[in-house]
Amino acid sequence: MPVFFALGIGGYFLLLQEPALFSSAASSAALIILLLIFWRYFVIRILLVMALLVSAGFFTASLRSWTLATPVLEKEMSPRVITGLVTDVRHYSSGKLHIILEEPQILSRNMGSAVPDKIRLKVQKYDQLPYPGDRIRIRAGLMPPPAPTMPGDFDYARQLWFQGIGAVGYAVSKPEIIEKGAATGLSTRQRFVMAEKIRTTIAGDAGGLAAALITGQRSGISREVAENMRSSGLAHLLAISGLHMGLLTGVAFFFSRFLLSRSEYLTLRYPVKKWAALIAMGAGLVYVYLSGGAIPTVRAFIMVSILFMGILLDRKAISLRLVAIAAMVILVLTPEVLLSVSFQMSFAAVVALVAVYEKRADWLASRPDRNVTRNWRQKMVFYVGAMLLTTLIAELAIAPFALFHFNKLVQYGLLANLLAMPVMAFWVMPWVVVYLVLAPFGLGAVALYPMSYGLEIIIHIAEVVSGTPGSYSLLPTMGLWPLVAMALGAIWFAIWRTQWRIHGLTVIIVGFIAALLTPQPDILIDNGGRLIGVRNMDQDINLSSLRAGAMTRQRWAQRSGQEKAEKWPQKTGGRNTGGENDENWMSCDRLSCLYYPRHKSRQTLIALIRDELALEEDCRNAQLVISLVPVNINCPSASLVIDKWDFYHKGGHALWLPENSGDRIVIKTVAASRGNRPWSKIE
């Protein structure tokens, strides 16, 4: 069910135009009628059910967008006074803040566009730290949420739109708190207060990691530590997911069951095991609210709840059906999470683990020595083997998604997890449970100090492993369809028990080969027409400047599988305009550069123009003209001219050059790849 439902959601987001809500509802209704008519025919019934699930997913996503209808700022606004209610604060280890304001009131005589319901501001300085629930006054500039850095890249504006945020900005003054908020229950304010208190109690990155594990607030972790965790394969410890929820509820279950079983009266008269399951479910629910209810946390809670329901009902609960139920609940409530890396990676890992361990459980049950008591050495070997197997399965399952989103494959994840997981499972998470018990009484520090020792060990493991040569590999980006093929092939292989499952491996292999063969763009131009990237003889991206667009430069390098992108070489002593035997692939003066794509057609000459004074000469010689200034003259030799106005109207460009001179140049733009959707309106 969730697979076809997700296909419908994915189809909605692939559209370039917003569909009519009525048409998607009508198609679902028509399929229901057809299903009732042809219910007796098995094959037709199955096909109609699959089509209905796809249609229902499409309709759910359409309905979600229609109900949100987030207002978006249309154009950039200069700094002005803004007042609003703080709903969320990210306090980074560098001291900077990200603040989300709800119902902002903007002091302006002429807004020129709709006022967003929420805005997100970067704050550099403050005298008094604002908390969620406070009403503040601040002077800030606003702009529409940023478009992708290149066609097909991650759309940050879409993510913000589904969060209800219609503008981003930067503060030019310190925030002034004009009304303090009240702290009630497990509110966002209480989470932030708790996170700040944890970071105050435990200094440094250990405090930031402790706050992340308990409250879900990861902003206190320094960029260096976060990068070390990702490069060592320990990034899953930063996000509260199945691991943390399983360990916390497991500790709560076994500890409460142990205490209840100390009473002979209760043990003989009442089902203390079921009481312990209820206590563990309650602990998990508190953890969900305390950590902010992120997608991996909610998914994990749904799964452990069904697991403990199995104990209450005396039934086996661990199965792929459990995963399917959790996925359906999340997709129905928030269909946009299908596009999030947390949803994709968490469910990929869980599906793989459940599928393998279901098969392994059947194999263990069939062994003649299944009831033999093992000594401590055998148990230790079993534990280490299970941990290695779990890590290997999870890493293989999430590898395609890690490559698609981060262009990184971790090499030493098995080693890092083998060292860090016992510390997390047997030291850190039990102290998290103790903290949750003691914190309401003001005794949380009793648990935080011993917890910090384990966190320091994990941070050190991440630093050592990530610093080891060859700890990770950077690879160029792959297309969406190879990822979809590998995901569908893996799901097919996981769900079937018969020989049919082998066909899933074939689809995975085809997707993997397609991923390796994904063509990379030869030329990139950013949305503002200020930065150009070209591919050199070594297939790396080189840039026109190392000053403009820091985030764009970083993203282009990542998508090309590079640590960073260097500035392209500039030949001195004038420029060379011809000769296919010329070894220099780039020659520049102060007005423009001539690019010879030797890795493609050796006869092609491309002019990259920075100043209008270079137009007359370069337009006579180049077959392709890319100009950061308007081109108002005829270019007789150029088959294609792209200038400043193209960037203004269409956003960033990506070009794939032909292998042979005279063949067609493939062009994609940010505006065309986004389409005319609510989060990317084309005026």
Q: Which phi and psi (to 5°) does residue 541 adopt?
A: -85, 125
State mean pLDDT over 400-406: 89
Q: Which has the closest alpha carbon to 666: 675, 655, 682, 676?
A: 655
State mean pLDDT over 380-392: 76
State mean pLDDT over 546-563: 88
pLDDT score, position 584: 59
Please write down the HEC assignment for all residues of 448-510: HHHHHHHHHHHHHHHHHHHHCCCCEEECCCCCHHHHHHHHHHHHHHHHCCCHHHHHHHHHHHH
Question: How far is Cα 547 from Cα 620, in angstroms, rounded to an integer?
Answer: 30
What is the total residue count of the chain?
A: 683
The percent of residues in the chain predicted with pLDDT above 70, rounded, is 91
Amino acid identity at 234: L
Cα–Cα distance list, 623 to 169, 535, 591, 608 (Å) = 41, 17, 18, 11
Amino acid identity at 154: F
Q: What is 77-182's CATH number, 3.20.170, 3.30.70, 2.40.50, 1.10.3470? A: 2.40.50
Is 90 exceeded by the pLDDT of residue 165? yes
Beta bridge partners of 77: 142
pLDDT digits (tens, 9 = 90+) for 489-509: 999 888 887 788 888 899 999
Q: Where are the beta strands (DSSP E) in 510-623?
A: 523-525, 532-535, 541-543, 566-567, 586-588, 592-595, 606-609
The percent of residues in the chain predicted with pLDDT above 90, rounded, is 31
| Helices assigned H by DSSP within 203-271 | 204-215, 223-231, 242-261, 264-269
Question: How far is Cα 378 from Cα 386, in angstroms, rounded to an integer?
Answer: 12
Per the model's pLDDT, the better-predicted residue between 526 and 659 turns out to be 526
Question: How far is Cα 638 from Cα 620, in angstroms, rounded to an integer?
Answer: 8
Question: How far is Cα 680 from Cα 416, in angstroms, rounded to an integer?
Answer: 41
Look at 140-154, 159-173, 293-307 and tell me which has the smallest mean pLDDT. 293-307
Is 90 exceeded by the pLDDT of residue 175? yes
Spacing of C-alpha 131 from chain mean position = 26
pLDDT digits (tens, 9 = 90+) for 589-640: 888 888 888 777 767 888 998 888 888 888 888 888 999 999 988 888 888 8
Any idea what the Cα angle at residue 391 is, between residues 385 and 397, rounded to 5°?
135
Residue found by looking up tokens 């297939």 in the block: 539
The burial class, CB within 10 Å (0-12 / 13-18 / 19+), for 617 is: middle
**How sure is the predictor about 581, in pLDDT bands with cuts at 50, 70 and 90?**
very low
118-123 vs 165-171, strand pairing mode:
parallel
Question: How far is Cα 514 from Cα 551, in angstroms, rounded to an integer?
Answer: 28
Question: How far is Cα 447 from Cα 371, in angstroms, rounded to an integer?
Answer: 39
pLDDT score, position 600: 77
pLDDT score, position 576: 52
pLDDT score, position 579: 47
Contacts of 559 (CB under 8 A, 6+ apart): 150, 153, 407, 476, 477
Q: Which phi and psi (to 5°) does residue 187 adopt?
A: -85, 170
| Helices assigned H by DSSP within 313-428 | 320-333, 341-366, 376-406, 413-423
pLDDT score, position 374: 63
3-state secondary structure of 522: coil
Question: How far is Cα 191 from Cα 194, in angstroms, rounded to an integer?
Answer: 5
Q: Which phi and psi (to 5°) does residue 496 adopt?
A: -90, 145
3-state secondary structure of 120: strand
Across 165-179, 204-218, 435-449, the highest mean pLDDT is recorded for 165-179
Across 136-140, 241-245, 266-270, 396-400, the highest mean pLDDT is recorded for 136-140
Per the model's pLDDT, the better-predicted residue between 326 and 33 turns out to be 33
| 402 contacts 487 by C-beta, under 8 angstroms | no
3-state secondary structure of 161: helix
Q: Which has the closest alpha carbon to 232: 478, 560, 460, 555?
A: 460
pLDDT score, position 573: 47
| 72 contacts 679 by C-beta, under 8 angstroms | yes
State mean pLDDT over 430-444: 87
Report how far apart the first and last C-alpha atoms of the chain are (Å, whole number): 38
How large is the angle between the packed helices 341-366 and 320-333, nearest 10 degrees? 160
The model carries a pTM of: 0.84
How many C-beta atoms surround the C-beta of residue 14 within 10 A? 9
Residue found by looking up tokens 């925030």 in the block: 175
How many C-beta atoms surround the C-beta of residue 368 within 10 A? 6
The burial class, CB within 10 Å (0-12 / 13-18 / 19+), for 75 is: exposed
3-state secondary structure of 57: helix
Is 60 exceeded by the pLDDT of residue 303? yes
Contacts of 406 (CB under 8 A, 6+ apart): 230, 558
**How sure is the predictor about 365, in pLDDT bands with cuts at 50, 70 and 90?**
low
pLDDT score, position 582: 47
pLDDT digits (tens, 9 = 90+) for 508-529: 999 999 998 899 999 999 998 8
Is 90 exceeded by the pLDDT of residue 669? yes
| 635 contacts 648 by C-beta, under 8 angstroms | no
Amino acid identity at 380: M
Mean pLDDT of the chain: 85
Question: How far is Cα 261 from Cα 272, in angstroms, rounded to an integer?
Answer: 7
Is 90 exceeded by the pLDDT of residue 9? yes
**How sure is the predictor about 58, in pLDDT bands with cuts at 50, 70 and 90?**
very high
* Token code pair at residue 575: 């420029």
Is 70 exceeded by the pLDDT of residue 226? yes
How large is the angle between the packed helices 413-423 and 445-467, nearest 10 degrees? 170
Q: Which has the closest alpha carbon to 406: 474, 467, 338, 346?
A: 474
Any idea what the Cα angle at residue 562 is, between residues 236 and 507, rounded to 5°?
60
Per the model's pLDDT, the better-predicted residue between 121 and 234 turns out to be 121
| Helices assigned H by DSSP within 103-176 | 156-162
Spacing of C-alpha 389 from chain mean position = 25
The distance between the two most distant Cα atoms of the chain, rounded to a whole number of Å, is 97
